[in-house]
């Protein structure tokens, strides 16, 4: 039984985009969870000395993290033109944010965060690539 015996189905660009956003969302969750193990993090949260120390900052962080999770669904249901624009735009935005976080988090206790930021940047770069190279009708029929 050789490798040529397997059927390799063509995966629709919408499914690729949705899967990439799902992976990005999971990396965000892992990063935020692992951050709880950084010394002084939990005690700072309990005492109110954290980055999210106001209701507005907490809301902004919630929006920032909700968008990739929503894109898991939106990438499947939106029409191609809007879907492509939204994925390219948000892909660029989230890639830039994660690269900024990677550069500004270079400390021994944040190595995991830098690693995840690089993985997230790679994933959102793939979002940009797949959305930008979305096949046109005449290309898909060929």
pLDDT of 134 reads: 97
pLDDT of 142 reads: 52
Looking at the domain assignment, is residue 43 inside a domain? Answer: yes
DSSP state of 53: -
pLDDT of 1 reads: 57
C-alpha to C-alpha distance for 105 and 117, rounded to whole angstroms: 9
Query: How many domains are there within the chain?
Result: 1
pLDDT of 3 reads: 64
Q: What b-and-e string marks burial along 14-23, b requiring 16 or more CB atoms within 10 Å of the CB?
A: bebbbbbbbb
39 lies in which domain range? 11-134
Looking at the domain assignment, is residue 86 inside a domain? Answer: yes
Looking at the domain assignment, is residue 5 inside a domain? Answer: no
The reported pTM is 0.89
C-alpha to C-alpha distance for 122 and 76, rounded to whole angstroms: 21
Tokens of 47: 């005492």
Looking at the domain assignment, is residue 4 inside a domain? Answer: no
Q: Which residues of the chain have pLDDT under 70?
A: 1-3, 139-142
C-alpha to C-alpha distance for 116 and 91, rounded to whole angstroms: 16
Looking at the domain assignment, is residue 3 inside a domain? Answer: no
Looking at the domain assignment, is residue 79 inside a domain? Answer: yes
Looking at the domain assignment, is residue 139 inside a domain? Answer: no
Angle made by CA atoms 88, 35, 24, in degrees to the nearest 5: 20
Looking at the domain assignment, is residue 141 inside a domain? Answer: no
Q: Encode pLDDT of 40-61 as tens digits.
A: 888 888 787 888 888 999 999 9
Q: Are 17 and 127 in contact (CB under 8 A)?
A: yes
pLDDT of 92 reads: 98
């Amino acid at each position: 039984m050789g490798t040529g015996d397997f059927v390799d189905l063509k995966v629709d660009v919408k499914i690729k985009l949705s899967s990439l956003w799902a992976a990005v969302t999971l990396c965000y969750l892992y990063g935020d969870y692992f951050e709880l193990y950084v010394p002084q993090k939990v005690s700072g949260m309990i005492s109110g000395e954290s980055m999210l120390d106001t209701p507005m900052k907490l809301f902004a962080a919630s929006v920032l993290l909700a968008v990739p999770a929503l894109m898991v669904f939106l990438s499947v249901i939106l029409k191609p033109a809007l879907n492509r624009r939204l994925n390219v735009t948000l892909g660029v935005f989230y890639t830039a944010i994660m690269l900024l976080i990677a550069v500004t988090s270079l400390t021994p206790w944040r190595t995991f965060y830098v690693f995840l930021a690089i993985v997230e940047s790679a994933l959102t770069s793939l979002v940009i690539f797949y959305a930008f190279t979305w096949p046109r009708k005449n290309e898909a029929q060929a």
